[in-house]
Structure 1
């Protein structure tokens, strides 16, 4: 009995949300069906087309709202056109949600359906003339334009609903709101005008949240577009609400009560000078809008302008962190310059000749004869010797000048010493180049550390540098989560897998999923892949960008013994809010994206990390809406090579497999791979399956269950 109460509460909350969603879509249909421009009702049909395009579950509710709205304004012509337009939209726009040209298809469908239905209606009723053709064309053009505008506005509505601290507001969403509010024209209850109530609330909210500039702009747009008659009255409303929003925004930092007083004063003053007869209606309606504004919490920062001051301790910390970032930046610059300079320091032939003279000729009895009497001949002989030794691996003494062979008492010693000096110099140059490459790699890591520390200082200064309270914000809870499934197997005869994976949360909506394959199999490969995953997790958690983290991993592996440092990296950075992702593949096996029965193979040509100092970072952009992402290692793909080398067995299997949970799909892939290899696995393998899932409340009060 104790468990029944939370379950029932969760069920009731879910039902309430469903009912509320239906009411919102129906209300949108009513408002857009009532909205018109000079008697042209074009917004309802565009609203219906967008619902069908997006495949919303509330199409019937929205259609019912459009019918109710049309009946309230006695617009029977829209009702007559609605049936044919609905059928055309369903035929053209169904399943076009993911089409790249969906905006073009939407506009063309609305334009064609609106024009065709209008022409047929007038032909059936009273025939066509020039005026009717113009009205039908205007309605079709307005409907097509509004459908595109509404599509863009709904795609950009997250910033306002989540109350994010962005300093700009989507103008398209503001225009859509104005059109919806124009559907409330002449909706009056006594002295309370519903249109004025909502406009006052919106102007106050925007002015308080974004300041005087955007408050004035929002007031002007809302005031001008409320009635769509483009007459002097619209200009007066634009000026009235624009100036009221500007004044309210100027007092926004003093709190809600002061903002409301400033707004009411501006409205009363302008209304008195423009038309004093409507003061009672404006006063009551604006008062109700103010009451709504005061009752609902806003997302703006709650600051006291008289108490706003810098916290000295945090300011000192920020200064020290910035200095530390500059130090790492200078270290990076110095190491990079030192690496470049060391590559240029190559000794010339005369320097090598001096080394030879110090070792051989200095103690020779013929020193004075060779380097005093025959200086030019001796110098030229040694210079030619070094040039030949540099260009040829071995030389014959017979090819050297005979006069020199006769006069030099240590001829063979000179040849051997010259060859030794050159070999020694080549070894020195090899190590200098490697040291320069390592210095350059270290310089890049210092630069990345400098950037991370600089971002930390900026975050400290921008977010926590003032004594302010934390605002209470009504925000939407994240609807989508990530469902992960894992499947593994090891090579026959081994007890540990050399393939590993990890999941690193980057933010509340973004996660990095990583699969690593160490070189070879067994314990050594497991150690390498585990170390690579640990390094990547630490770098990503610190604030490194994914590409920078992979480059840093490559540099660390290169600095180790090259015989033991090869590892492949397959990283997916997924954002459930933006519904997209990026795949970084470093020597990794192909990945697969399953969208229904369609399967796309993602592959790149790159070497594993740890081989060269410079590494290419191939990035593949993907959509992450209803798709399923499969990351795996080459051991899984190679399980079917004994049956058909040229056949991609996994792609064929995924095309035939029905959509299921991530874990079930991972287990199916592993079982199929074992079956293809007759359970005699020749390599380690791991499969990581990722898909989105919705979360709902279960019977436990604070836990969540997955809805696949």
Structure 2
């Protein structure tokens, strides 16, 4: 019983604990939102900053921060300008009432000057620093004249210095104020924005000069805390920069703080270098810098006091929540958080792009479905309706004026209707002729039989033309539907390809880099995009070797052994200058490779042939060989066959399936011209991974596969392209083997031999007698044999011979067994 109670109580306790954690998290989120609303949206953060900047001094007497800050806020967030002015005056009043009056006076002068000349200024942001410069210059000179009744050269120089600083600070505040006040900023910080933010934060902290807690300087604690924060978030570079900038501004505000710049810069550098030790490592860097700089020269202070200030800064740093540091790190380039944020943004953009492509794919799919209504067969009601409409047109021209109309269509409706329907069907099937029996029967039934037959014949011509037009529309809709479906499929595949992320191969990159460098090969950089079997994709940056082929002869063989498959150099971009670097791409070698030989001749030895041929590398391990024969000979046939292949190549390379591509080419050729210009197409799609081949023969002659002493014939029955708009493409699949010869030819070669009854047997015998496997020699021998048999070239002739063989690497793999299993 106790065990059962304990089993019931424990889940209840876990639920209560989870609820408590959830309540605490919700409470923290609400508190964070309230603080953001209070300080950012309502602008009280600007009030605090204004108060501190109102107290800030340069060279113990200049106050260049007040007017630039007020002017920048007035331009960026005008509704908060009164709040900022109140903070600036309050901060200046802590120094003296004269400073408070001076701050108020220059602000009023700036507002009057800006409002009076606003209509003359085109760009307010660019002109704002000049407004501040002249206002501070006039205000400082006016202040000196009011207090001393004269203006000395020293006063003029100090006025110029303060006005110049105000000019620069205005530019800085215009960059940095949006970084503080924007509650939902998502962009990364630029380098100049980071520097401006650091200068602004250091300037704000100068307002704490003179404050102390238990005899510990507040500005020292806050400046070291700032350095710790940036060194931990962004590393040594930004940390040391923060230290130098902060220390420099403090030294300008108080000469006694000059030594502090060395301490801050050194602590930022050490803390950034030790950031791998987390917060403790950064804190240790500050302690080391404090001890070294403190023992070298404390600048009038004691080492004990300096260490206490460092301890206070470290305590603040350790109490800083990780949420704040992570949020700050997202905006600084080079940090892991920034990289993760960018990757998340890129994934979001990728998903949005893929979603849009999928939407377009669904649109094309819907359009394809809307055009696919041709598959619905015509029901009997539609057929009867068309027949009734046909016969009504006939009776309107004949029976309406006949005196026996009532006898035929009232008393003998079924008989008259069946006779006329039978006449229509027979005339439709027999090209307008009627059988003698039906003609005699109709003469007995109808007094105007010849007139009715003539009317049926005349109406039948329109009916047949209408039916033919409807059929063409259906075929066109079917063709459009298939093409839209092909485009939809391509876009869907593209969307899936977009969503494929680059896998993280950091470990494999390090292993490959170590393996190659341990072999004595210097590699600058390795980047792996894919390690999928048969689809390896690796980029490397290697030193330029003046064309010695190090990548092909050493690196690729070593990668072949490490990855367990043949790797080759796909592309190499050599350096354009000595001692530079080359960028090399390594890819998986295909299981098979092909050599092609071509023999080509025009009719009567002319220069222009109606035959065209093409070899197309489609990617994804596929290779296409095509021959097109335009109708006739000469320039027109050449243009037709060439354009057929060019159009086919572009459609195939877009990723559309072969059958749809051929139907698209056919539709273009059939609709492009009214002339009877046709083209044949002989297409072989070879997969270099498994040596399978798909033949699509459109009005072309047979092809032959020579495998040793055996010759295999490949043929299909399809009309040439351009004759009809709609036709089905027969696809013939074969499995090739290494050493096979694939022989494709135009009709001028296949039907070229003279006094031959069976071209198939003759061509098989000639191919079987060949004693060579060189594709170019085979093409030349077949062409020579046909020309010798005919005695002349009476038609355009083209032979394309493809030799399939195993892909034997040029260089053997170099064994590195210790790394092979690890990399895989």
TM-score (norm. length: structure 2): 0.41
TM-score (norm. length: structure 1): 0.48
- Larger relative contact order (CA 8 Å, sep ≥ 6): 1
